[in-house]
Structure 1
């Protein structure tokens, strides 16, 4: 359809997320449309960077990284956000038949932390935010400070937000449970906080996926997110 414009889904950690989401989108629509057709854009790591170092720098909002990774640079999230807004998004919109009203950000772990940072500083960059296993714990839950700062000066947050978390991403007795922190609780607190703001333009939903941990949850989380954010019309 030559005049049709399509939603655009931007995914962080492209080396992992791009091929999985591409195959999920094909698979779920085999017997008929379940999710809407969309343009998939993978956000790669910095040129000549190792993936772990690139994401730690570009996906985090402050330089105060975990103590066990003190040799890595953190806190480049604002600069990376500027790159997305001023270079990546305009390039994609100029090259493809994009629908400017359906621009989606999907990130997992630190990628979801970046998504939340964007949502609380320049929410109009994207219409929807998928925050998968978000690292809200980062720097003493600094993201909650960013949320509170946004709430003090805004009466609305126009966004469709979908969060997912593995059931093992909390403290527990098995090796798949977390030894420190409680990411499930952090997600629940964020959802409760957002709902308490009563933003008229905000839609927020979340799911906890049983028998999944931080590493295994992504594929099923991606699937649930696509079905929630891009249901076939």
Structure 2
């Protein structure tokens, strides 16, 4: 199957909360990868800032591909937060748009694999975005989790190849099954080594409706057959 080409945004210029608890042993990073990297995907700026601290709840194992690590949360500085909208009722996501990097994709739900890690998109849906259905639906209180591949099995860029080009202030629109759209504003974009993935910051309880968008990034390790880092986009609901 042919993978989607990356968007033509600025790249061309340059858990679980809300009552959902899950505690699994061993794990903390998204570790899917292609068999070969086609050149590094975009990386976020070296200096990014956190909007606020997170309150720990549970830290899921989100590993796949037979690799996982237990990590600790790094410290972060504070910056102004967008005006957060009121939480929306539960409704499954069906599509996502990130206009700044020309990303549009259907969204389908995925759960956990037999090893307790996040399942990742596969087959005919390999190049689509997935929603972890153990997290809140986008717009509910807590951190909703969207995931996707950075490269494909035939070495082409996949749906999140340019996710690292996202910047603070960008908007992410998530269409929901009930006909509503949850609009989020990006508050920070981070790149973490898989060996130092901040589970609490990413999956911990939040004060309101938030979104986490996760893929792989950084250098591709030919021997391990995976990327060494994870890109995480943090966003808060500004319109429901």
TM-score, normalised via structure 2 length: 0.25
Point out the structure with the larger helix share.
1
Tell me which of the two structures has the higher relative contact order, counting C-alpha pairs closer than 8 angstroms and 6 or more residues apart.
2
Structure exhibiting the larger radius of gyration computed from Cα positions: 1
Point out the structure with the larger strand share.
2
